[in-house]
Structure 1
Amino acid sequence: MKSRTRWFFLVALFVVQGLAISRVALPAGGYHLIAKKVLGGEGSWDYLTCDSAARRLYISRGTHVMVVDADSLEVVGDIPNTEGVHGIALAPEFGRGFVSDGRSNTVTIFDLKTLQTLGTVPTGNGPDAIIYDPASKRVFTFNGHGGDSTAIDAAAGTVAGTIALGGKPEFAVADGKGRIYNNLEDKSTVVEIDSHKLVVTNRWPLAPCEGPSGMAMDAERWRLFIGCDNKIMAVMDADSGKALATPAIGNGVDANGFDPAAGLAFSSNGDGS
């Protein structure tokens, strides 16, 4: 995850699932910028996570998590003492959120309603990407310096196990049925993980993709969309690992997204595209 210092927040709400704004009608032109907000505040930026049901946006800010109302775009709260925060995962069925604290090698657990910290859990070295898997009821951190993944029981708030990945993990996605997919940046490989057994079940090379980082999934068509450092998006069949396409993208990709309603995949690139 390539954290970058920014002193403003450009809100590009594109009427996609998870960021739909009911007061704005989508014109025939499709995606368009509808709001822009300067948030200020201290700290560098990394991943953003949207809670579409609660209408909250969680923003990684280096040592704390800024919480913004997704409709008014006003800051409504803050989760402090998250040293080296990279990402936020949400487990709404347990009313809990989980923050990867990259410098303290922990996950901070917080209450989704009150935003109060409930405790911390130890992880491997350098937790970066973090996701919630509803099939196993576990949160997974992907530890960039340790080359492994820490599985956390979302209800109990305890470590369920550790998975050796065999490379430097970047972002991951869960299919909701017990499989997790993770990019290994230094190996240009995708690993498939059984979220119940906590084992790697497949390893798929990504050539010609180099330095994979961002990942998104079309869970209906079983497609993975992987952002690559050599300015392509690798499209992969999530069942077989077969490479399907490599369309060109911008430079410096770090995050991907997928809009199931429109059937469109996106890459967020450091060159501003």
Structure 2
Amino acid sequence: MGGDADNVRYDPARGRVYVGYGEGALAVLSAAGERIGDVPVGGHPESFQLDGGKIYVNVPSRREVAVVDADKLKVTETWPVNDSSANFPMALDAARHRLFVATRRPQRLLVYDTVTGKLISNVEAGGDSDDIFYDVGRGRIYASFGEGSVFIYEQVDADHYRLAEKVPTAAGARTALFSPELGRLFVAAPSRGNHAAEVVVYQTGS
């Protein structure tokens, strides 16, 4: 497969596994682990999301989102992050056709219309963004930042988003996992000085 394997996604509809790796490709594997092919994206792929017949891929080195045809296994279009850069985390609201991308420079949350590829919203974000999650049931977005915070955004409607709360965490606590079934957000805080490493659990709703 090559080095620097990173994000992994499973496509149950096609029985495939996608792995972002190396200097710029998605490896496509069967569920049995057989190599099907590669999709060059022009730079190391960071977070990516599956949306039916499309795959949206963050490519920070190119300051863009690559849109991959999941059947043809090729990039069909690219969406620029405009004046932003370091677009690492990504989340998807498939029902409303909205893609969420956080950038580190400047610190913003970008919202794209996945039908048109147009940028429709641009909201304040925190420093050192690493993970974003969309909570379908509550219409919220949770974003974890290494500066030591989790931002909670409310989806007013498909085109409008409001920063509702900034929750303090710990310096370097940028890696997170959201469980919609449990209604919990798990945030990993690294060891710093006399503070031992830990996983902090936040309740996202009753």
1:128 aligns with 2:88: yes
Gaps of 5+ in 2: 192-196
SS in 2 for 1:157: coil
Contact 2:126 2:149 (C-alpha < 8 Å) held by counterparts? no
Greater strand proportion: 2
After the TM superposition, list the runs of 4 or more consecutive aligned residues in structure 1 that deviate by more than 6 angstroms.
none
What is the identity, as a one-letter code, of the residue corresponding to 1:113? D
* CA–CA distance in structure 2, aligned partners of residues 81 and 97 of structure 1: 11
* Partner residue in 2 for 1:98: 56
* Partner residue in 1 for 2:75: 117
Gaps of 5+ in 1: 1-39, 241-273
Structure 2 counterparts to residues 1-273 of structure 1, below 5 A: 40-41=1-2, 43-61=3-21, 62-70=23-31, 72-92=32-52, 95-123=53-81, 124-177=84-137, 178-186=139-147, 188-195=148-155, 196=158, 197-206=160-169, 209-230=170-191, 231-239=197-205
Contact 2:126 2:151 (C-alpha < 8 Å) held by counterparts? no
Contact 1:66 1:78 (C-alpha < 8 Å) held by counterparts? yes
Contact 1:106 1:122 (C-alpha < 8 Å) held by counterparts? yes
Contact 2:44 2:60 (C-alpha < 8 Å) held by counterparts? yes
Alpha-carbon shift at residue 67 of structure 1 (Å) = 1.2
SS in 1 for 2:174: strand
Normalised by the length of structure 1, the TM-score is 0.66
SS in 1 for 2:61: coil
What is the identity, as a one-letter code, of the residue corresponding to 2:33? L
Once structures 1 and 2 are overlaid, which stretch shifts more, 168-177 or 104-113?
168-177
SS in 2 for 1:103: helix
Contact 1:148 1:169 (C-alpha < 8 Å) held by counterparts? no
Aligned length: 194
What is the identity, as a one-letter code, of the residue corresponding to 2:96? S
* CA–CA distance in structure 2, aligned partners of residues 52 and 225 of structure 1: 25
- Of structures 1 and 2, the larger Rg is shown by 1
* CA–CA distance in structure 2, aligned partners of residues 214 and 171 of structure 1: 6
* CA–CA distance in structure 1, aligned partners of residues 162 and 78 of structure 2: 24
Q: How far does the alpha carbon of each residue in 1:168-204 deviate from its partner, in whole angstroms, 9 at most, with x for none?
A: 2111111113211010111x11101124322211111
Contact 1:161 1:198 (C-alpha < 8 Å) held by counterparts? yes
Identity %: 22
Q: Cα RMSD (Å) of the superposition?
A: 1.8
Contact 1:135 1:176 (C-alpha < 8 Å) held by counterparts? no
